[in-house]
Amino acid sequence: MAERKKILIVDDDSFLLDMYALKFNQNGYEVHAAGSGTDALKKLHGGLQPDIILADIIMPEMDGFEMLETINKENLAPTSVKIILSNKSEQSDIDRGKGLGVSGYLIKANSTPQEVIEQVADILSKKEKNL
């Protein structure tokens, strides 16, 4: 059996965080959840090396963009595939995500949890083919 992919899900909405954690777990992922950008950075500083970082944008303390900027600046997760999962769908946000090295930008309102999992798997497999 293939090694389980590690995913770090970052969202301040505990209902969504729990739901996505459960769904990804049911689909064979090793799930690590963080309720804020600060919490996610603590996990990464602690040595977590996820295959995927799935992050919300709108969060208190530190938004998803600031978190990604810090991750990039400190080279915390150099091999992680970074994906944004947000309700912010303005082109400027999508462009800013791309500028931060994001491989995918998923809109929460447009996708069921199962579709999110499929899209994440699709983005990951495309990235792995390009390595």
How much is the pLDDT for 131?
66
Range of the domain at 27: 6-129
Residue 71 lies in a domain: yes
More confident residue, 103 or 128: 103
Give the residue-averaged pLDDT of 37-65: 97
The rounded distance, in Å, linking the Cα atoms of 12 and 18 is 10
> Looking at the 3D structure of the chain, how many domains does it have?
1
The rounded distance, in Å, linking the Cα atoms of 73 and 108 is 27
Give the residue-averaged pLDDT of 55-83: 96
Q: Report the 10 Å Cβ neighbour count for 94.
A: 16
HSE-CB at 24 with a 13 A cutoff on CA atoms is: 25
What are phi and psi for residue 39, nearest 5 degrees?
A: -60, -40
Residue 83 lies in a domain: yes
Q: Copy the structure tokens of residue 84.
A: 């944004």
Which residue has 């997760």 as its token pair?
Answer: 77
Residue 61 lies in a domain: yes
CATH (domain of 98): 3.40.50.2300
Residue 1 lies in a domain: no
Give the residue-averaged pLDDT of 9-20: 97
> What one-letter code names the amino acid at 39?
D
Residue 120 lies in a domain: yes
For the chain, give the percent of residues with pLDDT over 90.
92
